[in-house]
A = this chain, B = another copy of it.
Amino acid sequence: MNTTPTRSLSSIMDGNSFQATNLGLLPSNEQALIRRRMAALGTSYRLFYRTPVHADRAEGCYLFTPDGTRYLDAYNNVASVGHANQRVIDAVGLQMGKLNTHTRYLQDGIVEHSEQLLATFPEYLNSVMYTNSGSEANDLAIRVARLWTGGEGLVVTAEAYHGTTELLSRVSPAISGGFPEDPSVRVIAAPDTYRVETNDMGAWFAAQVREAFEDLLAHGIKPAAFLADSIFSSDGIFPNPVGYLRPAIEVCHEYGALFIADEVQPGFGRTGDTFWGFERHGVEADLVSMGKPMGNGIPVAALVGRTEILDRFGTEVPYFNTFGGNSVSIAAANAVLSFIQETGLQSQVATVGASLRDAISTITSDAAFVGDVRGSGLYIGVEIVTDRDSKSPDGGRALAIVNDLRDRGVLISVAGPGNNVLKIRPPLVFGTSEVALFSDRFADTIAAAGNA
């Protein structure tokens, strides 16, 4: 592992990555494969873990290596309705045999799915545009917000990550080295409910947002948007208390800016409480981007918004996305949404998530290096600290825990500016037997970490 700077790359990027210096730890066939991979794919392609997981097949919440070793997946939110979900496989297979083309032809599927998707939103969010990734959706959202408001100014949190395009690099401080100076962007402190000393997180966070908008105005920059993921995943996972986001969104609207809810992480029932993360806080979003779990791995993403806002963009700026909303991506999205709705998955997530959080809290109650266990539904963060008084992030120990757990057959990773928050974010089909298995292994890992 590299030495950890105060603000290091978050786990989205680099925190938990394999180092070539460890190549010798691996069996020779994996060494050979990694060498070929490094030759063809280059330095952007980091692998997870001190010793990477060689993935061959997966089912439900389990990944298997070529030799049959099983891993419990407590990390992947893309396969939200489970790896190799039969309903998604069938829907994609059926549609591929029939038609897979773009949106310039009239097709029934996209209209039906759009209506079903929009029905999950409050009535004022009544129009949708499709893209291939959450990144394309967020990039589009900013363009739409800037056109609508006539402003350029954007506000994001300290460790925000909103995607891969050039524009999104400007609102993604999590990528440190790749985060350019941009006079129209303001970075505010995250609502770190573990460390910020306040009795009123809502007022405190709203004050940060206000200060950022005032500073934009003071520099002659009109505000366009406050862009945030309502569980602040890359900042370290801060979902609670419910409602604390409301004053910040009121401030955003007071300044004439749009609130872009980045639902790539909290959307599609992940939090258990509501289908969309922003609803949990009782706020109005003007634009809502979504991605990762939408097609269970088939690339599909979307931007939902008020009709008048999206129509203004659609009228003034030609936009066509070749694969966006194509027949097969829509079929996958439709299978995922129908599965979630018909199996009552969101309420299962609430129940299972609560029991997983309880188990983790119990297991870690005596561990002085565990400062906080928090989360909502199946998105859980566990703060690894040097001690409970100083609350200093202990990224080294967090990574050791992640790797130890991997060696015991359970996959998680880290989040937060210090790479010290265990990120536990399994497929939504995680059940009681998976909670039991996770708890068993996690207890061993925490015990081992305490003795280390």
Q: How far is the CB of A229 from chain B (nearest CB, A)?
A: 14
Chain A, interface size: which category? 35 or more
Closest to A118 in B: B40
Please give, as numbers and ranges, the residues of chain B lying within 8 Å of A98 by CB-CB distance: 56-58, 84
Q: Does A269 contact B (CB under 8 A)?
A: no
Contact, CB under 8 Å: B110 / A328 = no
Contact, CB under 8 Å: A132 / B129 = no
For A84-117 the 0/1 string (1 means CB < 8 A from B) is 1000110011001111111111111011001100
Contact, CB under 8 Å: B321 / A164 = yes
For A162-184 the 0/1 string (1 means CB < 8 A from B) is 00111101000001111000000
Please give, as numbers and ranges, the residues of chain B lying within 8 Å of A40 by CB-CB distance: 111, 114-115, 118, 126-128
Query: A43-51, A353-361, A385-393, A433-441: which one contacts chain B?
Result: A43-51
Contact, CB under 8 Å: B136 / A133 = yes
Q: Count this chain's copies in the assembly.
A: 2
Please give, as numbers and ranges, the residues of chain B lying within 8 Å of A298 by CB-CB distance: 100, 298-299, 328
Contact, CB under 8 Å: B48 / A177 = no
Q: Does A314 contact B (CB under 8 A)?
A: yes
Task: Give complex CA distance A311, B39 in Å.
Answer: 10
Contact, CB under 8 Å: A316 / B42 = no
Task: Give complex CA distance A131, B41 in Å.
Answer: 12
Q: Does A394 contact B (CB under 8 A)?
A: no
Tell me whether A164 and B178 are in contact in the complex, defined as CB-CB below 8 angstroms, given that A298-B328, A323-B297 are known contacts: no
Q: Does A142 contact B (CB under 8 A)?
A: yes
Contact, CB under 8 Å: B165 / A110 = no
For A8-41 the 0/1 string (1 means CB < 8 A from B) is 0100111001000000000000100110110111
Tell me whether A311 and B129 are in contact in the complex, defined as CB-CB below 8 angstroms, given that A106-B52, A165-B166 are known contacts: no
Chain A stretch 302-352: residues in CB contact (< 8 A) with chain B: 307, 310-311, 313-329
26 intermolecular pairs with C-beta atoms under 8 Å apart: A12-B318, A34-B106, A40-B114, A40-B128, A41-B111, A41-B325, A42-B307, A43-B310, A44-B129, A44-B319, A47-B104, A48-B105, A55-B105, A56-B98, A57-B98, A58-B99, A63-B99, A76-B101, A84-B99, A89-B97, A92-B93, A132-B132, A132-B136, A132-B299, A178-B316, A297-B323
Given contacts A45-B314, A89-B96, 11 further A-B pairs with CB under 8 A are A12-B320, A39-B126, A58-B99, A92-B96, A134-B322, A139-B165, A164-B319, A165-B166, A166-B167, A177-B318, A298-B328
